[in-house]
Amino acid sequence: MAFHGLLNDGTVGIFRGNQMRLKRACIRKAKISAVAFRKAFCHHKLVELDATGVNADITITDIISGLGSNKWIQQNLQCLVLNSLTLSFEAAKLVMQWLCNHEDQNMQRMAVAIISILAAKLSTEQTAQLGAELFIVRQLLQIVKQKTNQNSVDTTLKFTLSALWNLTDESPTTCRHFIENQGLELFMRVLESFPTESSIQQKVLGLLNNIAEVQELHSELMWKDFIDHISSLLHSVEVEVSYFAAGIIAHLISRGEQAWTLSRSQRNSLLDDLHSAILKWPTPECEMVAYRSFNPFFPLLGCFTTPGVQLWAVWAMQHVCSKNRMYQKRELCFSFSSEILFYKKAISQLCIEVIFLKNAICYRAVCSPEKETEKKFHGGRATLQPFLHHFPLRMLGTPPQHVFFSQKGFCLRACVLAGRQRQ
């Protein structure tokens, strides 16, 4: 009925009785109100509900609150599809309150799955407001602690880590709640407990990147055991793990020698390791991470005395731009803050790898998607004329005609033709 557009407030009445005893319901594209939904479906013992693309008169809050009115559904619902529904801040809070009131494993799994998705869809302001609710951070950390104690890697743990990662993104208040509730110590335990689980490591390190971005929490991360462990992960064979470990180190080093309260020699060693690790990364085949904005990278671009820090920031932006086309016009015109920053300094202060990646970003900014697909690669060469005026490469003793690229995209270790030869 739903597929044929026949399910509406009038016809849905056939489901109000108990004769059918529904277990699975599909109300895709149904034109029903919140009241009609509650009366027709929420008294059944549903284990699956597909509510993709229903009309705008019913929201995700209506769906969740309706299902939540039935205790049996709370404990037994296994699959809930809510694509295309209006996502709201109120719904996210409702799910978290639901989570706090129930310890059932099925409820836990469903609730954290929903909150991890919602946290990624809400605006930065709404996410910060949601994360500012202390009980939410505490509850999610409690689930992580429980799963770590059980040495259990399951979907609930992964969804919970994703939820915390999204909630702390560009949200200093949530990051502080995380630290104040012993989140750093707990996440160290997670890294130590699951050393071979790269998907877990990636989520943990992604969140710790968010913490490292907050200058006020810098001193909390100046912990030798923590730095030593992150340093070891910098050399991981998994580029996703190495990337996020590098991000933590880059943010902590970027604040200067005075802010670094541990060994000076360790800081120098980390700088060398950071630079060399980035140069070894292969080009990822897919997008590793999505960013709300490029704001966290801008402070790193001014670290001219620590080129490894600059290199990580530019590598990250170039990666996102090469994998996510929406950034190529919106964020690549980030031009005002970052371009001014680069032009204020002499070109000789930039390392050659940073220059190549910076040029790659400029190239994507000035080329339309249509022109980009028409680029011709001949023997791995691509002409850089559209953006070479950004940097007088002759100052580095290199002619600006061509640069080597990999066939899959802009390669970090690009070599100017008259310079180093590709091995």
Structure confidence by residue, pLDDT tens digits, 245-255: 999 999 999 99
Distances (CA, A) of 307 to 77, 221, 261, 315: 52, 22, 21, 12
Structure confidence by residue, pLDDT tens digits, 354-397: 555 555 555 454 444 444 433 333 333 333 333 333 333 333 33
Using DSSP, state whether 396 is helix, strand or coil: helix
- Least confident residue range of 30-34, 206-210, 267-271: 30-34
- Least confident residue range of 207-211, 296-300, 353-357: 353-357
Distance CA 397, CA 419 (A): 8
8 A C-beta contact, residue 200 and residue 190: yes
What is the predicted pLDDT for the residue at 412? 32
8 A C-beta contact, residue 99 and residue 114: no
At position 369, the amino acid (one-letter code) is P
Structure confidence by residue, pLDDT tens digits, 121-176: 777 777 777 766 767 888 899 999 999 999 999 988 999 999 899 889 989 999 99
Q: For the CA atoms of the chain, what is the radius of gyration?
A: 25
What is the predicted pLDDT for the residue at 12? 76
Report which DSSP code applies to 79: E
Please report, to the nearest 10 degrees, the dihedral formed by the alpha carbons of residues 241, 242, 243, 248 taken in order: 100
Average pLDDT score, the chain:
75
pLDDT higher at 110 or 195: 195
Question: How many alpha carbons fall within 13 Å on the CB side of residue 42?
Answer: 17
Backbone φ and ψ for 346, nearest 5 degrees, come out as: -65, 145
Backbone φ and ψ for 59, nearest 5 degrees, come out as: -110, 175
